[in-house]
Amino acid sequence: MWMTWKASRLIKRKQRLYAKYKNAEHPAYKSAAKEANWELKRSRRKFEKQLTENIKSDAKSFYAYVGSKRKASLKIGPLKDDSGNVTSTEQDMAHELNKFFTTVFTKENLTSVPEIQHVLSVWSTSGYSC
């Protein structure tokens, strides 16, 4: 865990002050919030520096932390079908993606597939060996 005890204590202090004054513009709250945010940044930087220093001996922790900070989402959102209707179920989206990819890729002509013996004979006459 990267958050230090001091940062946790400062966050609790900030929360107590907000509960007391119910105003984010109060000088006591603003001061506590600034101090807590500074301590959070400091402790995060310290943790990340420690991860990079220990990457040779503990690469798993480093890559786990980096993976947790990725912002990319792996979900595919609702899709529109050919008639413009929105599909949101996984099965319907899979069907729509399948229809799209079948139009993009071409089918090979299976009648003109070269025979293996012919390829091997051309290969051997060219000086290559199997």
Residue 114 clears pLDDT 60, i.e. is over it? yes
Q: CA dihedral defined by 89, 91, 92, 95, rounded to 10 degrees?
A: 160
Residue 129 clears pLDDT 70, i.e. is over it? no
**Predicted pLDDT of residue 103:** 81
Residue 127 clears pLDDT 90, i.e. is over it? no
**Domain match, 50 and 101 both:** no
Share of the chain above pLDDT 90, in %: 47
**Domain match, 9 and 63 both:** yes
**Domain match, 60 and 87 both:** no
Q: What is the DSSP letter of 26?
A: S
* Domain with 20 in it: 5-68
From 30, 49, 68, the end of a domain falls on 68
Q: Most confidently modeled of 35-39, 64-68, 108-112?
A: 35-39
**Domain match, 58 and 81 both:** no
**Domain match, 10 and 57 both:** yes
Opening angle at CA 117, ends 111 and 118, nearest 5 = 70
HEC per residue, 88-125: CCHHHHHHHHHHHHHHHCCCCCHHHCCCHHHHHHHHHH
Rounded to whole angstroms, the Cα distance separating 53 from 1 reads 16
Rounded to whole angstroms, the Cα distance separating 78 from 22 reads 41
Exposure on the CB side of residue 54, measured as CA atoms within 13 A:
12
**Domain match, 100 and 60 both:** no
Whether the model pTM is above 0.75: no
Q: Grade residue 75 by pLDDT with cuts at 50, 70 and 90.
A: confident
Q: What is the mean pLDDT of the chain?
A: 86
- What's the domain count of the chain? 2
**Domain match, 46 and 91 both:** no
* Tokens found for residue 99: 């229809």
Residue 42 clears pLDDT 90, i.e. is over it? yes
From 50, 68, 86, the end of a domain falls on 68
Q: Grade residue 109 by pLDDT with cuts at 50, 70 and 90.
A: confident
**Domain match, 91 and 127 both:** yes
Rounded to whole angstroms, the Cα distance separating 114 from 31 reads 78
**Domain match, 51 and 94 both:** no
From 52, 68, 84, the end of a domain falls on 68
